[in-house]
Amino acid sequence: MDAILAQLLNGLDKGAAYALIALGLTLVFGTLGVVNFAHGALFMLGAFCAVAFRQFITTETVTIDETQLSPWGTPLEVRTPMAEQWFGDWAPFLIDYSVPISIVLAIPFMLLVGIAMERGLIKHFYKRSHAEQILVTFGLAIVLQELVKTFFGPNPWPQPIPSDFRGAADVGAWFGMQAGAVTYPLWRLVYLLFAGVILGAVFAFLRFTTFGMVVRAGMADRETVGLLGINIDRRFTIMFGIAAVVAGLAGVMYTPLLPPNYNLGMDFLVLSFVVVVVGGMGSLPGAVAAGFLLGILQSFASMTQIKALIPGIDQIIIYFVAVVILLVRPRGLLGRRGVMEG
């Protein structure tokens, strides 16, 4: 029982990342009809927002203080991080919480990147075939990740967890088990909650705002909405920006769990595409459900008992499930009838 709970939780946080990326992919596909292979690169860009923010606030300026001496008799070099000059007493807090705080930076940045990408490139590919969309966004993904590589180099950048969230939560105790039976890293729990909030916000935005209503109407029948005199293209562009923000935030908060390097996006992209296809192209609930489902399946498959039963299953489970689903249920789990069946 406790092993199952532990695996369930393990799967949930990975599933949360899949779900967030897949949600963005589906949003883009559902609104603009574009298959975006550069979406993983947006996830990676978000992660590097956190890296860049931390690099910036910890940039040290060195001043030589003649009055004090270092232990070996030379004038003492005083190193002050950028944050201290700017924010004074807040600096330690700022540096400690650099990852969550960089969200503030990531939101406008990702929105800008998303809108620039849509207006600059993807706009021209609405009418072209899906194969061409895949190709151009694949090329774009290469360009983005290579750009990041030129600035940040090929090595991963580990980011610290804020000190208050280090350590593990005794999840087992919450469910009435004995203390210490199931523990779970606190930051993963934070990530899970964060993903829940973002997912809820996106769904609420689409569900309860006029803007969201128009977007949903546009997803169902773009032409009619356009005929009603609504500038649906602009709204879809904004949705692309929002999808980029969602991917970016998923990336920001994931940095303490997995040190990002320039290749991070590609690794997640393939999986999240599989997630989207399993959930059903164009279905938002499907993408989220499939994200969590596959995350959990993957973590169960990596249990030693199951690996002993079927060796190698943890490596292929996601792809295997995808193949099976695609063959027996062409629309995916929750896909709408008639959308991308073929």
Partner 1 sequence: MDIFRLPRKDVITLALFSIVVLTMPIWLAPLGAAYPGLMQQFAIFAIFAVGFNILFGLTGYLSFGHAAFLGVGSYTAVWSFKLLTMDAIPALIFAIIMSGVFALAIGFVSLRRSGIYFSILTLAFAQMSYNLAYSVLTPITNGETALQLTSQDPRIIDMMFRDRLAGLPSPSLLGTSLGGYGGFYLCAAILLVVFFIAQKIFTSPFGMQLRAIKSNQTRMSYTGFNTRPYTLAAFVISGMYAGLAGGLLAVTDPLAGAERMQWTASGEVVLMTILGGVGTLLGPVIGAWLIKYMENIFSAFNARILADLFSWLPDGVQDGVVLVSSKFVGEGWKLTEGLVFVLVVVFLPGGIMEGTRRIKSLFGARRANRSASKEQLSTTAAE
What tokens were used for 78?
């005083």
- Shortest spacing between CB 326 and partner 1, in angstroms: 6
- Shortest spacing between CB 287 and partner 1, in angstroms: 14
Span from 91-99, 191-199, 284-292, 318-326 in contact with partner 1 (CB under 8 A): 318-326
- Chain-centroid distance of CA 108 in Å reads 16
Half-sphere exposure for 247 (CA within 13 Å, toward CB): 34
Compute the distance between CA of residue 287 and CA of residue 279 in angstroms, rounded to an integer: 5
Region 18-57 residues binding partner 1, contact defined as CB under 8 A = 35
Q: Does 152 bind partner 1 (CB under 8 A)?
A: no
Compute the distance between CA of residue 319 and CA of residue 301 in angstroms, rounded to an integer: 12
Helices and strands (DSSP H and E) totals, the chain: 15, 4
Which member of 105, 111, 121, 238 binds partner 1 (CB under 8 A)?
A: 121
Q: Which pairs with CB-CB distance under 8 Å and at least 24 residues apart come from 127-133?
A: 130/35, 133/34, 133/35, 133/36
- Shortest spacing between CB 64 and partner 1, in angstroms: 31
Compute the distance between CA of residue 253 and CA of residue 161 in angstroms, rounded to an integer: 10
Which member of 60, 77, 132, 164 binds partner 1 (CB under 8 A)?
A: 132
Q: Does 330 bind partner 1 (CB under 8 A)?
A: yes
- Shortest spacing between CB 145 and partner 1, in angstroms: 8
Span from 109-117, 204-212, 285-293, 313-321 in contact with partner 1 (CB under 8 A): 313-321
Q: What are the phi and psi torsion angles at 8 (to 5°)?
A: -60, -45
Closest CA to 30 of 285, 274, 290, 298: 285
- Shortest spacing between CB 275 and partner 1, in angstroms: 10
Binding site for partner 1 (CB under 8 A): 35, 121, 124, 128, 130-132, 134-136, 138-143, 146-147, 149-150, 266, 270, 273-274, 277, 281, 311-312, 315-316, 319-320, 322-323, 326-327, 330, 340, 342
